[in-house]
A and B are shown apart, each in its own frame.
Chain A
Amino acid sequence: MLRSAAIALALLATSALPAFAQWSYVGGNGETVMLDAVPTRIIASQDAAAGLIPLGIRPVAIYADSAVADAKALQGLDLTGIEIIGQAWGEVDIEKAAALEPDLIVAEFWPLETTWSGGADVVNALSPLAPITGPEQGASILTLIEDYEELAASLGADLAAPSIAADKAAFETALADFKAATAAKPDLTALAVWAGEDALYVAATGGASELMDFASWGLKLIDPEVADDRGYWETLSWENADKYQPDLILVDNRSAQTMETALAQPTWTLMKAAEAGQVTDWPAYWLRNYGAYASELAKLTTAINAADENLAP
């Protein structure tokens, strides 16, 4: 009797609670965050800010993984009035964060590390101030952007606003062009790399959401034999720079230095694509909105259209 009453009470409680909560969101970690009011004072990770700002949701503060000027994801976004409370990975100014009295922390959930953007230290520092939530990093940047649309809409964004619609339309056009370009060159193969003074690092498609997008849209990416346990890269001594022979090389463009380093290596041109100048940018890990995705896709499409697809044997 007592037990069934308790069960009934519990059922009532779980079904009734969301009705009282004014705002709820299921985060990438599977947990639901519920608040009495729609949160307005948001602290966002650099990537979450890059996802939300173009949709009209302006955080009160951003914590970045590096100097904001070097944060590729934030480039071109209007950051006036937004406080920067972290400019190094794993670091955040907790006093500034507390003074801002945030309602919500928005970050991205990393399924492999089972933590949020910025790592455990940042999460431990920020989570006492407000609940932390956000979308999950997964197999596609496109679905990540759609997750941000859903989150932004729940926070009160007007997704039909002209600038948002224009960005989305530009992306749709760029995507159609990209698919047409890859379809027109069925033999074209590509390789995504990061170049260091010590070695050439070849990226695994499965380690980068945008590479998985490109592959699903028809780009044939060469997958390296990944030895390191994190499964992101194969490390090639510059003596072995010609282990793979793609028709098109994509170079990580988070820093312009990477391309300069690549071009300065004597054996860079052992790859026929490098010799022929069939090299373009890889927007590695940083795309979070339609506007940036559209312009990066357009660059790739131009490179694919200009490339000789039968360069490599």
Chain B
Amino acid sequence: MAEAQSHHRQKAARLIAGLLMLGAALLAIAMLSLATGARAIPLETVWAALTAYDPNSTEHRIIWDLRLPRTIVGLLVGAALGLSGAVLQGATRNPLADPSILGINAGAALAVVLGVAVLGMTQLSLYVWLAFIGSGVTMLVVYSVASLGREGATPVKLALAGAAITAVLQSIINGILLTSPRTLDEVRFWQVGSLSGRDIDIVLQVAPFLAIGMVLALGSARMLDGLSMGDDVARALGQRIGLSRGLAGLAAVILAGGATAAAGPIAFVGLTVPHVARAITGPGYRWILPYSMLMAPILLLGADVIGRVIAPPGEVQVGIVTAFIGAPFFIALVRRRKLAAL
């Protein structure tokens, strides 16, 4: 008994140390993101810009006006994507669950495309709200469709409903884009997924929602652990299945919708990161969730930094880089070990 307890304590200590290391790595990558760009700015100038801002210095303005908002968007969006992926995988017990599976990305994209094509909206700040509404409504529809029938919203039905509705939404989006090249022009940049060109206003608009979503998600660890034992066991342990899944789903929608609103649909981060986290921590959402939350922005910002320097004097958008890094990484993960059945 005592031995088991000390083993438990050792594991906890190791995982806390891991979290601290991830925090340090995140800080380092955030600094790297501030120091790297299409324009070469010496490290001491970066430091000076942060500590003693001079509005007359071009370099200082680039750090403050471009790289700082971009880094903050990367941190927030990354954390939100990682958390929402982990929560969705837990709530649906589906190892391939991610914001795109449940229609959240497609819903956000359709709302933006409709806003541009029908209402003529062209500002990024309006995309935020459109994307948010679209992802929320879509999640509700997916959940309602999945809830039809006697056994309620089971994981399989959720994933099926999500995939079916994503297909419907995607064909509507394609239909609009094919007949309206002007709309395609407007949303093309947003659709790829990018951290640049998002100023601090957009961060401020999305941040409160993401904060609420993060609190909800981190608080759902125990419910997710209960769900992971199967609905019957969870129910036997006195858990209210529908409520648990609803709360987790709400957290995931807020996080993924907010992230998509701010940066456009970014694939693979929400899917890949929770698996890496689970490989380190083992099962148990108390650890998977914070690990995902710290690892995802490391991946996202790292991809963004790479995108900034590989095609000078231009840049490659982060959505393209994560697809390039994420896809083979995910295939390797699937091949290396059988995906944990959740």
A and B bind: yes
The answer to whether B313 and A266 touch across the interface, beta carbons within 8 angstroms, is no
* B58 is an interface residue with CB less than 8 A from chain A: yes
Q: Which of A66-107 contact B (CB under 8 A)?
A: 66-67, 70, 88-89
* B138 is an interface residue with CB less than 8 A from chain A: no
* A236 is an interface residue with CB less than 8 A from chain B: yes
> For residue A239, which residues in chain B have a CB less than 8 angstroms away from its CB?
37-39, 62, 66-67
Q: How far is the CB of B72 from chain A (nearest CB, A)?
A: 14
The answer to whether B315 and A199 touch across the interface, beta carbons within 8 angstroms, is yes
With the chains together, A279 CA to B42 CA distance in Å? Answer: 32
The answer to whether B65 and A266 touch across the interface, beta carbons within 8 angstroms, is yes
The answer to whether B61 and A266 touch across the interface, beta carbons within 8 angstroms, is yes
With the chains together, A248 CA to B313 CA distance in Å? Answer: 22
Q: Mark B253-267, 1 if CB is under 8 A from A, else 0.
A: 000000000000000
* B124 is an interface residue with CB less than 8 A from chain A: yes
Q: How large is the interface on B (under 10, 10 to 19, 20 to 34, 35 or more residues)?
A: 20 to 34
Q: Mark A7-21, 1 if CB is under 8 A from B, else 0.
A: 000000000000000
The answer to whether B66 and A266 touch across the interface, beta carbons within 8 angstroms, is yes
Known A-B contacts A198-B196, A239-B37, A239-B66; A70 and B182 likewise in contact (beta carbons under 8 Å): yes
Q: Which of A215-246 contact B (CB under 8 A)?
A: 234-240, 242-243
> For residue A238, which residues in chain B have a CB less than 8 angstroms away from its CB?
66, 196-197
> For residue A197, which residues in chain B have a CB less than 8 angstroms away from its CB?
124, 189-190, 194, 196-197
With the chains together, A270 CA to B58 CA distance in Å? Answer: 7
* A267 is an interface residue with CB less than 8 A from chain B: yes
* A127 is an interface residue with CB less than 8 A from chain B: no
Q: How far is the CB of B231 from chain A (nearest CB, A)?
A: 45
The answer to whether B181 and A66 touch across the interface, beta carbons within 8 angstroms, is yes
> For residue A207, which residues in chain B have a CB less than 8 angstroms away from its CB?
none
> For residue B186, which residues in chain A have a CB less than 8 angstroms away from its CB?
257
> For residue A70, which residues in chain B have a CB less than 8 angstroms away from its CB?
182
The answer to whether B181 and A89 touch across the interface, beta carbons within 8 angstroms, is yes
With the chains together, A67 CA to B314 CA distance in Å? Answer: 30
From B66, B181, B189, B313, give the contact of A235 (CB < 8 A): B313
The answer to whether A270 and B61 touch across the interface, beta carbons within 8 angstroms, is yes
Q: How many residues of A contact B (CB 8 A)?
A: 26
* A119 is an interface residue with CB less than 8 A from chain B: no
The answer to whether A267 and B65 touch across the interface, beta carbons within 8 angstroms, is yes
Which residue among B62, B122, B312, B317 has the maximum number of chain A CB atoms within 10 Å of its CB?
A: B62
With the chains together, A198 CA to B312 CA distance in Å? Answer: 13
From A89, A236, A265, A270, give the contact of B314 (CB < 8 A): A236
With the chains together, A236 CA to B67 CA distance in Å? Answer: 16
The answer to whether B317 and A198 touch across the interface, beta carbons within 8 angstroms, is yes
> For residue B315, which residues in chain A have a CB less than 8 angstroms away from its CB?
198-199, 237
* A39 is an interface residue with CB less than 8 A from chain B: no
Known A-B contacts A197-B189, A257-B122, A266-B66; A237 and B313 likewise in contact (beta carbons under 8 Å): yes
Q: How far is the CB of A245 from chain B (nearest CB, A)?
A: 11
* A56 is an interface residue with CB less than 8 A from chain B: no
* A196 is an interface residue with CB less than 8 A from chain B: yes
The answer to whether B196 and A267 touch across the interface, beta carbons within 8 angstroms, is no
* B199 is an interface residue with CB less than 8 A from chain A: yes
Q: How far is the CB of A271 from chain B (nearest CB, A)?
A: 11
Q: Mark B239-259, 1 if CB is under 8 A from A, else 0.
A: 000000000000000000000
The answer to whether B182 and A240 touch across the interface, beta carbons within 8 angstroms, is no
With the chains together, A70 CA to B185 CA distance in Å? Answer: 12
The answer to whether A267 and B62 touch across the interface, beta carbons within 8 angstroms, is yes
Q: Mark A248-284, 1 if CB is under 8 A from B, else 0.
A: 0000000101001000111100100000000000000
Q: What are 28 pairs between A and B in contact, CB < 8 Å?
A: A66-B181, A66-B182, A67-B181, A67-B182, A70-B182, A88-B181, A89-B181, A196-B189, A197-B124, A197-B189, A197-B196, A198-B197, A198-B317, A199-B314, A236-B38, A236-B313, A236-B314, A237-B312, A237-B313, A239-B62, A243-B313, A257-B186, A264-B199, A266-B66, A266-B199, A267-B61, A267-B66, A270-B58
A-B residue pairs, 7 tightest by C-beta: A237-B38, A266-B65, A235-B314, A197-B197, A239-B39, A239-B38, A239-B37
Which A residues are closer than 8 A to B by beta carbons?
A: 66-67, 70, 88-89, 196-199, 234-240, 242-243, 255, 257, 260, 264-267, 270
